[in-house]
Amino acid sequence: MKLFKTSLILLLSILGLSFSFQKNNLKITTKDFKQLIGNWEGSLTYLDYSTAKPYTMPANIEVIRIKKTNSYIFASKYPNEANANSSDTITISKAGNFFGKEAVKAKKKLANGDTEIITEELGKDGNDDMPAIIRHTYTFGELSFCNKKEVQFIGKAEWIKRHEYSYKRKKA
């Protein structure tokens, strides 16, 4: 019975999220990401689920647009943990409603001129790989860039701040 309830909740959540993705007519373009290109220095603060405490470490990123495409390379570097360095290529969909696998949920210009883009996707998170809605809030401008990840486990009402990257533009 518990498996049935869990499966039903997951199915309803997927259908609801899929429907909201279809209704979504927000669009992003490469122009929205122009200020994001470059080198950034900062930190990563994440929630350690085993201790329920935040942990902060240095983190840097270089964002590169692949010429004449809607794709970007995000090359992350961790000065104190080089084995964690990684690189991801993320593409804005042709319709502009997806950033990689993440559906665009909101886009706005903030009072200070920065851009804020909010995306969501279905995934798994936590030590038990629980099904969840994963939300990213990308906020960036000429001098700062923040990428916040929040998680809402299926069947729960609360959002948990999983991690936040906070960067300042690296001086040339």
36-86 tens-digit pLDDT: 999 999 999 998 878 889 999 999 999 999 999 999 999 999 999 999 999
* Beta bridge mates, 47: 54
Extended strands (E) in 66-128: 71-77, 86-91, 98-99, 102-109, 115-125
Q: So where are the chain's domains?
A: 2-169
The pLDDT-based confidence of 10 (bands split at 50, 70, 90) is very low
pTM recorded for the entire structure: 0.83
R_g (Cα) of the chain, nearest Å: 17
The torsion region of residue 162 among left (phi > 0), alpha (psi -120 to 50) and beta comes to: alpha
DSSP state of 170: P
According to CATH, the topology of domain 2-169 is Lipocalin (2.40.128)
122-151 tens-digit pLDDT: 999 987 899 999 999 999 999 999 999 999
Q: In 3-state terms, what secondary structure has residue 24?
A: coil
Q: What is the pLDDT of residue 25?
A: 55
